[in-house]
Amino acid sequence: MSVDILVASGITKRFDGFAALTDVDFILRKGERIGLIGPNGSGKSTLVNCLTGILTPDSGSITFDGDDITATAAWVRAKHGLARTYQIPRPFRGMSVQQNIEVPLRFAVGHTSARTIGDAARVILDQVGLAGKAGLSPKALTQVELRKLELGRALAAQPKVLIADEVMAGLSDSEVDDILALLTRLNAEGISIMLIEHIMRAVMIFSQRIVVIVAGCKIADGLPDDVMQRDEVERAYLGE
Residues that bind other proteins (CB under 8 A): 52-54, 73-76, 78-79, 83-84, 86, 90-96, 98-99, 102-104, 106-108, 112, 114-115, 118, 125, 131-136, 153-154, 156-157
Query: What secondary structure letter does DSSP report for 204?
Result: H
Q: How far is the CB of 79 from other proteins (least distance, A)?
A: 4
Query: What secondary structure letter does DSSP report for 85?
Result: -
**SS3 of residue 144 by DSSP:** helix
Angle, helices 114-127/143-156, rounded to nearest 10 degrees: 130
Q: Using alpha carbons only, give the angle 30, 32, 37 rounded to the nearest 5 degrees.
A: 130
Give the C-alpha separation, 9 to 178, whole Å.
34
Give the C-alpha separation, 10 to 153, whole Å.
30
Q: What share of the chain is helix, strand, coil (3-state, %, to 5)?
A: 40, 25, 35
Q: Which is nearer to other proteins, 93 or 231 (CB)?
A: 93
Which contiguous run of DSSP H or E holds residue 43?
Answer: none
Q: Which is nearer to other proteins, 34 or 101 (CB)?
A: 101
**SS3 of residue 193 by DSSP:** strand
Q: How far is the CB of 27 from other proteins (least distance, A)?
A: 22
Q: Which is nearer to other proteins, 76 or 223 (CB)?
A: 76
Q: Which is nearer to other proteins, 38 or 81 (CB)?
A: 81
Q: Which is nearer to other proteins, 156 or 194 (CB)?
A: 156
Q: How far is the CB of 215 from other proteins (least distance, A)?
A: 25
Q: Which is nearer to other proteins, 114 or 188 (CB)?
A: 114
B/e letters for 127-142, b = 16+ CB within 10 Å, e = fewer, are bbbbeebbeebbeebe
